[in-house]
A and B are shown apart, each in its own frame.
Chain A
Amino acid sequence: MKSAVAGLAPAAPARGMTGPLPQILGVLRKVLRSPVGAASAAVILAYVLVAVFAPVVAPYAPDATDLGARLRPPSAEHRFGTDGLGRDILTRVLYGARVSLLVGSLTVAITATFGTVLGVLGGFYRGTFDAVSGRLTELLLAFPYLIFAIGMMAFLGPGFANLVLALSLKGWVEFYRLARGETLDQAEREYVEASRALGQRSLRTLFREVLPNVLPSILVLATLRVGYFMVLEASLSFLGVGIPPTIPAWGSMIAEGRNVLFIAWWVSTLPGLALLVLVLAINLFGDRLQEAFDPKRRNR
């Protein structure tokens, strides 16, 4: 635990006494102390709380229809108005946070883990394994992301698990490339050679020395990818190939509102605004994180 204390020092050098993991903690602390970092973290936290406690905070049930109150504009009774089936839009927006956050975080967890492990192994050991995964990433990179996901979802069919699968099948590539590049970079440094010279087993060197030094950039990428996956999910649900319409999701809510755009502006715009604010907060947080890890990148 003593290393965690060392991490308190802001902007600790990457190596030396402190080590990379305390450095990550220190950087997080620094980001949370900056106004933008704190504000965006607060917004993200609010969304997470809303998603978890949706049944408590939502004024209505998400699927409660009221055909007598269809397409009502925002009012004291329905703060965000109602949709074509008389459902309360605020309620559905609150519940929609669940899908977005789940898809975003789950996909990032899967792709970041898979991609990083593969990339670190490939960059460290090279050889056939590295060559094969390299070819595979080239192939996946040939597909624009949304096109690949639409193609996969067209054939797999809508659904939560299929959606995460379709996004993950391609999403690991960026993590792989970043992890591999950073590992190649680290493997040439003295501390790796030193630990090899000391006769340490290479797997130990890899996980104890190399991986922790690769983690900061992976963390930045992971943060930014959460927002990206959320927008992708919303795009797919908007097109009708993502989350099935029975589950409240922002993308499909926007799609429903599209048909009544000329008479009820609130049906589409408000779920979209909810998505925009969340993704913006995540991107701002990721931006600050990147800056804190790598101050040289400021102003670029």
Chain B
Amino acid sequence: MSKVIKRLVAAVPVSLGVAIVAFLFLRFLPGDPVEIMLGDTNVTQQQVEQLRSEMNLDRPLLEQLGLFLAGVAGGDLGYSIVKNQPVARLILDTLPATIELTFFTILVAIAIALPVGIVSALKAGSWLDRLVLGTTLVGVSMPAFWFGLLLILLFSVELGVLPTSGRIPAAVLVPDRTGFMLIDTLLAGDLRAFGAALRHLVLPSLTLGVVFAVVLARVVRSSMVEVMGRDYVTTARSKGLPERVVVIKHALRNALIPALTVTGLQIGELLGGNMIVETIFSWPGLGRLVVSSIFARDYVVVQAAVMLYALTYVAVNLVVDVLYTYLNPRIAL
């Protein structure tokens, strides 16, 4: 238990550092943040001064930092001049869409990566294994956004079977209760809307899911190959256990431990890919919010969202590390 606490404590300075880097982002702007964010809008010098003082930009830098960190700790991520809303509100509104998409992305990735990785490892060196290695190497080299466009070409342009933008057809009205489209449509008792929402999820989650699966399958495979050569696998076999039991109970469980760590690190790619996929499929989530905010010069939103992505990444890796100690108690953090 103390290991877990130690790891938790170690995450504090890193999270603090992430917030400080996010704070510094606004200072990279070539000029005055308020004037840049206001753009060409007609405002008086007095209003500019007022905004500057509301954003604390008229105070010394260290004091600004202190106020920023205090705000973040209290859930205040600043105010969007462009959208005239608190940034925290904007982010909270987009979060369910992103979580829904990420959930299905991971589901797709695991559903592909586990069987492919295991079979490839069991037949290591065979033509099937080589095919898997070759295909996954192509996958690793492929930009996610290009793959998404190929899927659109195939499933929407050629076959015309799947929608390519948004979460639900514009004509379908679903009362917003949780923000999760699948749950909201069910709560409304509208099964057709539920089906439509599900169909909208297919292409975006497939795009990123396959890209993620490719990496994951390689990790599972190499991890399985190594474990299958271990003594305890030989022992299990010599006890006369059926191969299926050996593979699943003895090998896979141990192979998944290192695979888990690599997966935690790869979540970073997933979070980054999220911005791309949401942009391609006009998915109204956090990633699209960031990209649209960049072009709206809504830098306060960009700053907060980038910070949130990084903090999520830190948190995921923390969870992975803690899980790791449970799965393999011999590992000291």
Contacts and interface: CB of A to CB of B under 8 A. Distances in A.
Interface string A137-152: 0110011111110111
A128 interface: no
B310 A147 contact: yes
A275 B306 contact: no
A150 B291 CA distance: 9
14 contacts: A139-B17, A144-B268, A144-B269, A156-B28, A227-B141, A234-B145, A238-B145, A240-B295, A262-B157, A275-B143, A275-B146, A276-B138, A284-B137, A299-B225
Interface string B124-161: 11000000000001101111111001101100110000
Interface residues of A, number: 45
A108 to B, nearest CB: 16
A144 B150 contact: no
**A-B interface, 5 closest residue pairs, ranked by CB to CB distance from nearest:** A146-B272, A144-B268, A272-B146, A155-B28, A151-B306
A265 B158 CA distance: 11
B222 interface: yes
B138 A138 contact: no
B138 A299 contact: no
A254 B149 contact: yes
Contacts of B291: 150, 239-240
B196 interface: no
Interface string A186-204: 0000000000000000000
B302 A139 contact: no
A154 interface: yes
A154 B36 CA distance: 12
A156 B28 CA distance: 6
A241 interface: yes
A235 interface: yes
B212 interface: no
Q: Which of A241, A279, A284, A299 has the most CB of B within 10 A?
A: A299
B137 A142 contact: no
B81 interface: no
B17 A147 contact: no
Interface in B156-175: 156-157
B212 to A, nearest CB: 13
Interface residues on B, range: 35 or more
B173 to A, nearest CB: 26
Contacts of B225: 299-300
B157 A265 contact: yes
Given A155-B25, A280-B137, A241 B157 contact: no
A136 B259 CA distance: 26
A268 interface: yes
Interface in A268-293: 268-269, 272, 275-276, 279-280, 282-284, 287
A261 B156 CA distance: 10
Given A155-B26, A265-B157, A283-B140, A139 B294 contact: no
Interface stretch (B65-73, B177-185, B273-281): B273-281
Given A238-B276, A254-B149, A265-B153, 5 more contacts: A135-B13, A144-B267, A147-B313, A151-B302, A151-B306
Contact of B25 (A151, A227, A240, A251): A151
A241 B276 CA distance: 12
Interface in A245-270: 251, 254, 257-258, 261-262, 265, 268-269
B49 interface: no
Contacts of A300: 222, 225-226
Q: Which of B17, B25, B146, B295 has the most CB of A within 10 A?
A: B146
A147 B309 contact: yes
Contact of A147 (B29, B271, B279): B271
A154 B302 contact: yes
B220 interface: no
B198 interface: no
B30 interface: yes
Nearest to B307: A151
Nearest to A278: B141
